[in-house]
Amino acid sequence: MKPIPIVFENSDFVVINKPEGVAVQNEQSQSGILPRIQTQLQLDKLWLVHRLDKVTSGLLILAKNAVAASRLSQYFAARKIQKYYLAISDKKPKKKQGAVIGDMHKVRDGKWALKTSRHQPAIGQFFSAGLGDGQRLFVIKPHTGKTHQIRVMLKSLSSPIVGDSSYSGTPSDRTYLHAYGLTFEDCGQQIQISCLPDSGQHFTFSTANPKVASLLTPWELDWPQLHIQKSTK
């Protein structure tokens, strides 16, 4: 079995590039990421402090001890860790950049949909750039961590993610959603990590396009400040 790529590691946590199609926990048909990394790094235990969907690849933080797990979990709860995702769609979006805000509700078969109400909304911002051949690259900055949030968000923009069969994406070799960047401060150290996807025929975009190149340094983009008014009814 191919080793899982290690992107960053210190005494408290490790950041891996999770392959798409692998769950974080064991399934009946395959071993999950957590036990695989424990075996690979010869560690007795690792702690999950956040999750990625099975179909999503990219940066996943695993704590090496309970103290670090508690600290990192608190960062996520307080939204002190900025996350950035890359996605590709082959459908024209309703808008090329902006925010998507709305409550999510279950519909059927484990799927979700976005509503216009804002009681406990999913919140995300995005920029996008054309890749040619009708494809568009999105960089998404989620402000909440709702289940399937980014996938539902792009579906609501009429731009479902390529390969995302659950949300009407065009069939492909994988779901084109990748956890690309993380920025946060931990114990006085400023941490900035990015990792390009290493699988998927459509994830080979040219950085010669300045608009595409700007999306690959998402922490430098001019993300507008959000002023969210929640629903009262």
pLDDT (tens digit, 9 = 90+) per residue, 102-148? 999 999 888 999 999 999 999 999 999 999 999 999 999 999 999 99
Check whether 233 has a pLDDT greater than 70: no
- Active-site residue, 12 included: no
CATH of domain 6-220: 3.30.2350.10
pLDDT given at position 224? 93
How does DSSP assign 198-221, residue by residue? -S-TT----TTSHHHHHHTSGGGS
Query: pTM to 2 decimals?
Result: 0.95
Surface-to-core class of residue 96, CB atoms within 10 Å of its CB (0-12 exposed, 13-18 middle, 19+ buried): middle
Domains of the chain by residue range = 6-220
Rounded to the nearest 10°, the torsion over CA 89, 206, 56, 88 is 0
Q: Tell me the β-bridge partners of 190.
A: 185
CB 210 within 8 A of CB 217: no
pLDDT given at position 228? 77
Residues 156-184, mean pLDDT to the nearest whole number:
97
| 41-53: pLDDT as tens digits | 999 999 999 999 9
* Catalytic choice (53, 90, 133, 222): 53
Residues 191-208, mean pLDDT to the nearest whole number:
92
pLDDT given at position 139? 98
